Amino acid sequence: MPEDVIEDLRRVAPLLGFSGYQPLARAYIGQGLRADLERLEGDTVFALIASLKRHGVSDEVIQEALGEVTGH
């Protein structure tokens, strides 16, 4: 990691309540990773739905299945 980024993390960490720059860096990495996973999983679900529709699965069946999976 570039030294200037580490210095910025060191400066910001205590202002955000972190004990040091490493926990802050882990928090930033975790947030970015979760956001990317959510986006990629959403893309996968969207692609699956499109594929099911192309294979003749009705919107009603797809919505029912999504409801079962998401608990809605």
**Domains in the chain: boundaries:** 3-70
The whole-number average pLDDT for the span 43-55 is 91
pLDDT exceeds cutoff 80 at 44: yes
What is the pLDDT confidence band of residue 37, given thresholds at 50, 70 and 90?
A: confident
What whole-number percentage of the chain has pLDDT above 70?
99
In the prediction, which pLDDT does 3 show? 96
Q: Classify residue 62 by burial, with Cβ atoms within 10 Å: 0-12, 13-18, 19+.
A: middle
Give me the amino acid identity at 57: V
Global pTM reads 0.60
The whole-number average pLDDT for the span 26-42 is 90
